[in-house]
Amino acid sequence: MTGPHPAEIDTSTPHPARMYDWYLGGKDNYPVDESMGRQMLALDPRVPVMARVNRAFMHRSVTWLAQHGVRQFLDVGTGIPTEPNLHQIAQRIVPDARVVYCDNDPIVLAHAEALLRGTDEGVTQYLQADVRDPDAIVEGAREVLDLDRPVALSLIALLHFVPDEDGAHELVSRLLSELPSGSYLVMTHATADFTPEESEVAAGKLRAAGVTLALRSREEFTRFFDGLELVEPGVRVPHQWHPELGDPVPGQDDGVIPGYGAVGRKP
Ligand SMILES: C[S@@+](CC[C@H](N)C(=O)[O-])C[C@H]1O[C@@H](n2cnc3c(N)ncnc32)[C@H](O)[C@@H]1O
């Protein structure tokens, strides 16, 4: 794997991976990301809590999956590494877990080395690809994962960057169609259901800066799980999904977390 040419990292517009890194207190972001992050904070000071709640959902859902025998993970929209990363959570429980990470942002590729340090028994690999090119993802994943055995497909805080015009629901169906029975879909997604006006202002600001935000209702989110069996407790605000599997995020109950999380099993 080769790193991106520095010229590939566009520092003139905000990028979701780098804004998210800024919310989480990371250092892999640029002034343009911080500036847009601050605008989001001015609209809702709880944005960093939301980012942590989302990350904590990833920790708990991967813990649940590993505890339920899942040994293979395909994580699309990985983000800039933030410990613990998905493979570290999975391999603590299943040391030989195999994980393929995938993101379309060159900044993630630049930091991918941190995603590749796992257990000796397990395997981690990084693939630079866009979720709108599912064939490339499946082809790359096949080199590391046995697609005849169950895989957890995690699309965490990713699909609200993919509008309906790009076929968000069809892309998920296409990826799942390559995975066998016993595989899982793991998702979180932003919504405007709880705070319609604030969410619309935030989406408008991001849109003006070149970042698409496709906020989806509970029903539109649930539709990603069509044909799957939702794992109890079903669709929830992310921190209410199996809270017993992790520590609460400070501030998570102080107001609305405008998102949904769920896990579904392919029958
Ligand atoms: C908010 S971050 C979430 C990171 C991680 N999944 C988490 O929940 O902690 C969203 C990630 O999705 C990536 N992303 C956005 N659009 C994408 C696309 N079309 N294909 C692949 N990755 C994408 C961004 O680069 C970013 O790293």
What's the confidence (pLDDT) of residue 208? 93
Say if ligand 1 is within 6 A of residue 28 CB.
no
Distance CA 227, CA 220 (A): 14
Say if ligand 1 is within 6 A of residue 21 CB.
no
Q: What does the block give as tokens for 208? A: 């003006």
pLDDT values of the chain reduced to their tens digit, one per residue, 267 residues: 344 555 588 999 999 999 999 999 999 999 999 999 999 999 999 999 999 999 999 999 999 999 999 999 999 999 999 999 999 999 999 999 999 999 999 999 999 988 889 999 999 999 999 999 999 999 999 999 999 999 999 999 999 999 999 999 999 999 999 999 999 999 999 999 999 999 999 999 999 999 999 999 999 999 999 999 999 999 999 999 999 999 999 999 998 899 999 999 999
Say if ligand 1 is within 6 A of residue 163 CB.
no
Say if ligand 1 is within 6 A of residue 73 CB.
no
What's the confidence (pLDDT) of residue 1? 35
Distance 163 CA to ligand 1 centre (A): 14
- Asked if 129 and 135 count as a contact pair (C-beta separation under 8 A), the reply is no
Say if ligand 1 is within 6 A of residue 79 CB.
yes
What's the confidence (pLDDT) of residue 4? 52
Distance 203 CA to ligand 1 centre (A): 16
Q: Going by CA atoms, what residue is nearest to atom 24 of ligand 1?
A: 17
